[in-house]
Structure 1
Amino acid sequence: MNHLAIVFALVGLIGIGAQWIAWRTGLPAIALMLAAGFVAGPLTGLMRPEEDFGHLLEPAVSLAVAVILFEGGLSLNLRELRHAEGAVHRLVLIGVPVGWVLGTLACYYVAGLVLPVAILFAGILVVTGPTVVLPLLRQSSIAARPRAILKWEAIVNDPIGALCAVVTYEVLRQAGTGATVWQSAASLLVAALVAGLIGFGMARLLGWALPRGHVPEYLKAPVLLVTVIGTFVGSNAIQQETGLLAVTVMGIALANMRLASLRDFIAFKENMTIILVSGVFVLLSASLDFAVLRQFEWRFGLFLVALLFVVRPATVFLSLAFSRIPWRERLFIGWIAPRGIVAVAISGLFALRLDNLGYGDGGTLVALSFAVVVATIIAHGFSIAPVARWLGLTAPGGKGLLVVGATRWSLALARALRSLDVHVTVADTSWQRLAPARAAHIPSYHGEILAEATEEGLDLQQFAALAAASDNEAYNALVCSEFAPELGRDNVYQLGDAAGDDPRRLPDALRGRAMFRSGLGVEEVAAREEADWRFAALTVDDQASYAAAAEALPQDGGPLLLLRRNGGLRFFSHASNPTPAPGETVLAYAPRQMLDGTGWTVLDQSEPSRLLQDVPA
């Protein structure tokens, strides 16, 4: 028992630790988790999942994958499909059969598998694992349409790949009973339909019970989790491997019911998914066996090349032929297709079953599936960002600033940031108040930023921080509270008191971080605009010269934000006082007359500045 507890602790420590290192370094989290699990497993022997967990390993991983797929389904808003230009439908209806056929040819002629095993394994490989795709997309700044296409394809195709393998296995198993291929396929089609109805029915049940108060608030998240597990297990009891389809349908159905209750445990489900993905991939790589790896043959390497450079691109190009998807996006989608834990788990399951049916190649599926997962994760994990940049498919930096509220001060801030080549967008409910932003060619969003429709009209992936600067401090606090889970509480800022003892003051938990260390409020910045305060920039040469320049600034204004050399933004606040490094730029706010002769450059807000020529846009 003590050893098992240590293993549980190691899995959590290694998985979350790898995620943290990935966040700090920008390296693919999946690749780091695989490497860490390999070190803890076959390399050092600290963990032996098959021995430690025994028969519990397979069902535990299956349940984890089910919860991951459900959480992915919850993120699939059907309105996203309008932006996909029909690509998802094509990749499912055309891509799955095309990929199955081309994969079978590669398995048979290149990998040398016998035809029945080749058909089964190719069915598994039609998936692009959401356990891998979703973390990669979360970590990369990809344009909205290709990101939506990859996300939808990964989640929708994942249960379909399992069903393809089940269909093939059932046909092989019933070959001696006189049942035809069509009879076997028809029975599984009925089972899949039943699984989909089960998932949809459970979603409707939750959609009826949660808003009507039949479940107390403190039980909503536990009830949802237990319902997901029960749906998965119940559907599998009817027909093996249909549970993934049931929970996927359940998640998509719930996501499109617009239930207010879902917002209450979004953080819970996302945290649960991160933990499960970390644990699953650590266990995956820790389960590698050198004996299995020694089964790897030279032609398996050729098979990986064929899978990466022939099967996947051909599948995407044929599926999206004559579509409205640009060629750059087709190339990108044709390259990014990592496989995950589902492929390995299903391959391992059917390897044993194929051996029992007398197909000797069943054992090689384990080595081949591990090779596919590792190769695709490394190839696509390290190349997704460079390839997206090369094809021009990155979101606008992922390092921009969203300014909420079009006031005189906020528009001046936006013009100053634009003069430093920083991506900034101003949002406001008034078309008239946004007129100066449009005149200055500053991107703007017209609408209520708190409305649900904002998710469609504004891509939040392009922003690293938010500055709530409307003329209503309570509204600013509400905006910061709403977007803190999305952008991070350290990245939402507002005008207002840095500290105070006024009992009417909103608690810090409901506010964003105060811009300026002095906590200038809405009325204060409005008065300073009238007094001709200006934004000025200083590119830091060394700490001594910066300290001297900062001393010339007033205490109630001063440094506002720091622009890192990599384009990142960091505000100065009562809780954060970042230290600029040489070559980085500080944006300050001070009276015009105090800036003369101090080393600060008052920004010419009508023309782009050349202060940051070496900083990436």
Structure 2
Amino acid sequence: MSIELGLMLTGMLAIGFFAQWLAWRVKLPAILFLLLAGILLGPVGGVLDPDKLLGPLLFPVVSLSVALILFEGSLTLRFKELSGIGHVVRGLVSYGAIVALLLLAVAAHYFAGMGWDLALLFGALTCVTGPTVIVPMLRTLRPNARIANTLRWEGIVIDPLGALFAVLIYEAIVSRHQGHAIGIFLSTVLTGVVIGAVGAIVLAFLLRRQFIPEYLQNFGALAIVLLSFTLSNEIAHDSGLLAVTIMGIALGNMRDVHIDDILDFKEHLTVLLVSMLFILLAARLSWPLPPGMLWAGIAIFLAAQFIVRPITVIVSSLGSGMTWRERALMSWVAPRGIVAASVSALFSLRLAHLGVVGSEALVPLVFILIIGTVVLQSATARPLARWLKVAEPEPHGVLIFGSDAVARAIGKTLHEAGFRVLLADDDWDGIRRARMDGLHTFYGNPASAHADRHLDLIGIGQMLGLSTHRERNSLACLHYQQEFGREKVYRLRNLAPQETSHRAAFNDRLLVPALFEDTMTHMRFAELLVRGWRIKSTGLTATFDWPHFVEQYGSTSLLLFGVDEKGALRVAAERRELEPRPGWTVIVLVPPEAAPAN
């Protein structure tokens, strides 16, 4: 049995990795491939039987995994950001979410025959989108900035709020079916809130006072989260999920608590947990579905797609100034994701154990809605955006990894040339200086899971690796080659070719082409700026072409970029020599003695 368990877990890990990789490759939400893999392994192929494989461990494994997923999601809810997210987003995550919850409950009640208590729970679970499904879709969809920011922020904010709604409704259902009075329900909620708040305070105290060494902080946070979850459940049954949700929200909104590393760790852990968990959950589905279940699920999906979401968007966007075209696209895009799948499965297990009639329908109906929304919207949203004329044109903006003087100088010049520029780095001093220069910034590693959720790449089509960290530069370039394409990613050398081993030089060339001339390194560029060299933009004409520019500013001038007649950015890089023509704007690094005073 132990050999079989080890083999199956290893196989699930490999399949989960492949599903995540495939999702990254085709820019679709990973949950789609994970659920399909579980369905193929379980009800279709009969290879995986989670109940037989894990036995009594199934419920604890699912419970602890969902607890960590909810904690990680709730960490991202920052109340201070709510004031700046706009009227429509606030509507979508407040009264709009309540409208969606109620309408989805009505659909579940009348199409699937669910009791009103389970129907409300279904509505709470499925009114939630989330960044893990929205962000990959937006990268393929590429709508205008207003739509993209609204959908992205909706997913970020409603993810933990929707989980909180669902947990509270679940607690009410459990209390009613166990014959508890309203006082028991309130005490359960109070226990979850208190344990969650105390857990957040304790962890924040330990982090602020540095009682936990840095290399143990992730381990300590994990232990405290699971301890809070277990302790809350022991004091008041089923209050643990509320406790970890409150703990995450409280910790994420505390001042002077550095949780970025913990958040990164939890995001990596969540990827692993989600990959294994969703395969397990999908494999538990019975096939064929009970009579009428498939058609009920399809009817609910159609109602959610064509009735519930449009009404929600219309109600939430009243008085916002959004055009009907923007509202139409937003009404079409609302894929369901991790919270709906993971929490519904856990609730279904618990409610079935309590003997709640109809609870077995919760998971298949949620999964049908997830698969339906992801597949339909991924296939049709981009053509619809083009037809509605709310799609972004070809992205010409530039993502720059780095924030030192070189990155800021190049970024500022490109910004002044009319390109959208975004500087990303985890060097706070450099980011602060970039913001003072009027540049858009992202504080963090652009190749991290946190960046995948929060980095706004709308309008960005190229990436320049200008970081002083050679290895991280290479990793970021490799990461964004799949995002933008191999011809849209470049790096500035950290070492000259003669300073690099043959193997390292080959690897660098294999990854991404180097910027500018062969001898140009990051250090040399920085030294030239210190010595008074300046980056200059000049328009070329028939009477003042590139040879005339070189004659006036000297042959030592270094061509960096060109902007052609169509406004596209051309990059000077190895094996890609530019030949500027009249009508272009050239961006050149010129020596101080050659640059005339402005």
TM-score under structure 2 length normalisation: 0.71
Q: 1:145-185: per-residue Cα shift (whole Å, max 9, x none)?
A: 331122111221113113213313433443xxxx7xxx53x
Name the residue aligned to 1:42: 43
Q: 1:277-311: per-residue Cα shift (whole Å, max 9, x none)?
A: 22222223333321436552534432321122223
Cα distance in 1 for partners of 2:475, 2:49 equals 39
> In the alignment, is the contact (CA less than 8 A) between 1:203 and 1:251 conserved in 2?
yes
Name the residue aligned to 1:55: 56
Instruction: Specify whether residues 367 and 23 from structure 1 end up closer, same or farther in structure 2 by C-alpha distance, changes over 3 A only.
Output: closer
| Identical residues among aligned pairs (%) | 27
2:375 corresponds to 1:378: yes
Cα distance in 2 for partners of 1:344, 1:275 equals 19
SS at match of 2:196: helix
2:310 corresponds to 1:310: no
Q: 1:301-322: per-residue Cα shift (whole Å, max 9, x none)?
A: 3232112222333244335544
Instruction: Specify whether residues 484 and 47 from structure 1 end up closer, same or farther in structure 2 by C-alpha distance, changes over 3 A only.
Output: same
Cα distance in 1 for partners of 2:535, 2:168 equals 69
Deviation at 1:220, TM superposition (A): 0.8
Deviates more, 1:368-377 or 1:386-395: 386-395
Deviation at 1:406, TM superposition (A): 7.4
Instruction: Specify whether residues 122 and 261 from structure 1 end up closer, same or farther in structure 2 by C-alpha distance, changes over 3 A only.
Output: closer
SS at match of 1:401: strand
Alignment RMSD: 5.1
Name the residue aligned to 1:548: none
SS at match of 1:33: helix
Q: 1:419-455: per-residue Cα shift (whole Å, max 9, x none)?
A: xxx754589999xx99xxxxxxxx9952695879x99
> In the alignment, is the contact (CA less than 8 A) between 2:423 and 2:441 conserved in 1?
no
Q: Please show how residues 1-20 of structure 1 align to structure 2 within 5 Å.
A: 1-20=2-21
Instruction: Specify whether residues 123 and 153 from structure 1 end up closer, same or farther in structure 2 by C-alpha distance, changes over 3 A only.
Output: closer
Name the residue aligned to 1:477: 468
- Counting matched residue pairs gives 527
Report the residue type matching 1:203 in the other structure. A
Report the residue type matching 1:414 in the other structure. L
Instruction: Specify whether residues 112 and 429 from structure 1 end up closer, same or farther in structure 2 by C-alpha distance, changes over 3 A only.
Output: closer
Cα distance in 2 for partners of 1:144, 1:411 equals 23
2:366 corresponds to 1:369: yes
> In the alignment, is the contact (CA less than 8 A) between 1:195 and 1:242 conserved in 2?
yes
> In the alignment, is the contact (CA less than 8 A) between 2:196 and 2:244 conserved in 1?
yes
Which among 457, 461, 466 is matched to residue 461 of structure 1?
Answer: 457
Cα distance in 2 for partners of 1:120, 1:260 equals 34
2:148 corresponds to 1:147: no
2:193 corresponds to 1:196: yes
Q: 1:341-392: per-residue Cα shift (whole Å, max 9, x none)?
A: 23531452255257x35x4x44444433332233233234445555566573
Q: Which runs of 5+ in 2 are unaligned?
A: 482-488, 501-506, 541-554, 588-598
Name the residue aligned to 1:217: 214
Name the residue aligned to 1:582: none
Deviates more, 1:516-525 or 1:150-159: 516-525
Which among 142, 149, 170 is matched to residue 175 of structure 2?
Answer: 170
Deviation at 1:3, TM superposition (A): 1.5
Instruction: Specify whether residues 531 and 146 from structure 1 end up closer, same or farther in structure 2 by C-alpha distance, changes over 3 A only.
Output: closer
Instruction: Specify whether residues 134 and 534 from structure 1 end up closer, same or farther in structure 2 by C-alpha distance, changes over 3 A only.
Output: closer
Report the residue type matching 1:3 in the other structure. E
Instruction: Specify whether residues 364 and 281 from structure 1 end up closer, same or farther in structure 2 by C-alpha distance, changes over 3 A only.
Output: closer
Q: Which runs of 5+ in 1 are unaligned?
A: 435-442, 470-475, 503-507, 537-553, 578-585, 590-594, 608-617
SS at match of 1:400: strand
SS at match of 2:6: helix
> In the alignment, is the contact (CA less than 8 A) between 1:31 and 1:381 conserved in 2?
no
2:248 corresponds to 1:251: yes
Deviation at 1:271, TM superposition (A): 1.5
Deviation at 1:223, TM superposition (A): 0.6
2:520 corresponds to 1:522: no
Cα distance in 2 for partners of 1:82, 1:518 equals 48
Report the residue type matching 1:154 in the other structure. D
> In the alignment, is the contact (CA less than 8 A) between 2:221 and 2:262 conserved in 1?
no
SS at match of 2:399: strand
Name the residue aligned to 1:158: 163
Instruction: Specify whether residues 371 and 170 from structure 1 end up closer, same or farther in structure 2 by C-alpha distance, changes over 3 A only.
Output: same
Instruction: Specify whether residues 534 and 101 from structure 1 end up closer, same or farther in structure 2 by C-alpha distance, changes over 3 A only.
Output: closer
> In the alignment, is the contact (CA less than 8 A) between 1:141 and 1:398 conserved in 2?
no
> In the alignment, is the contact (CA less than 8 A) between 2:133 and 2:335 conserved in 1?
no
> In the alignment, is the contact (CA less than 8 A) between 1:416 and 1:605 conserved in 2?
no
Cα distance in 1 for partners of 2:461, 2:69 equals 26
Deviation at 1:31, TM superposition (A): 1.9
SS at match of 1:338: coil
Name the residue aligned to 1:226: 223
2:280 corresponds to 1:283: yes
2:2 corresponds to 1:22: no
Cα distance in 2 for partners of 1:398, 1:189 equals 54
Name the residue aligned to 1:104: 105
